[in-house]
Amino acid sequence: MDIGVTQDLSVLALVTTASVGVKMVMGVLLVASFVSWWHIFLKWFDLRRANKMAVAFEQAFWNGADLNQLYQGITRERERNGEMERIFEAGFREFMKLKNQPGTDAAAMTESARRAMRAAYQREMDALESHVSFLATVGSVSVYVGLFGTVWGIMNAFRSLANVAQTTLANIGPGIAEALVTTAMGLFAAIPAVIAYNHYTHDIDRLANRFDSFIEEFSNILQRQAHKK
């Protein structure tokens, strides 16, 4: 009655003894999980840096800093600028270019600067949103990939019963346990990706609203400057 008692049903043993199809599914899930965790950490640092630099720039901007001096400081250190600095730089550069042209309408100057800031805003948002969709894909697909591996493993377990004279739980238990490991791996890959996607989407939306508010407020400042031309 000791049949199957000595079988090693540890996770490592189930993975190493799995069929080729199940191993391929496990490999895909393992790679997806590794890449998603890599993007999770990178995006955490990116958004933390973007928020920190936005706060620092807003403090400098609203503390009465001279716009020309602020612009010159930003152009000298372009490689260290944050998203909001680059939006400011694009708008102020366009504004000053038109301001130095005689006969330019004040409304046209402001609108051109606004368009330049909107273009810079879109570029910055595209960079912030990069790889976030990958997390959504991993979160939505990994569970189904794991279930596919489970179905494949269970099919193999039942097919192996054709060569067994007596069907017992000891015969099919290891095969079913092996198959269920892929479901667990699918959940392991999907859950962190979904949580990170929802969290980062919220953070990116907050930054987008912050940038959008700055564009409108800075456009009003530029409109007043244009009328002083």
Per DSSP, the residues of 178-224 read HHHHHHHHHHHHHHHHHHHHHHHHHHHHHHHHHHHHHHHHHHHHHHH
Mean pLDDT of the chain: 83
Tokens 């859950």 belong to which residue? 191
> Would you place residue 10 in the very low, low, confident or very high pLDDT band (cuts 50, 70, 90)?
low
Handedness of CA 17, 18, 23, 27 (dihedral sign): negative
Q: What is the mean pLDDT of residues 113-129?
A: 94
Burial class (CB in 10 A: 0-12, 13-18, 19+), 78: exposed
Distance CA 218, CA 157 (A): 67
Residue 5 placed within a domain: no
Residue 3 placed within a domain: no
SS3 content of the chain, % helix, strand, coil (to 5): 85, 0, 15
* pLDDT above 80 (res 94): yes
The alpha-helical segments, DSSP class H, found in 130-168 are: 132-159
* pLDDT above 90 (res 1): no
User: Which residues span the domain enclosing 186?
Assistant: 11-227
* pLDDT above 90 (res 194): yes
pLDDT of residue 14: 60
Domain count, the chain: 1
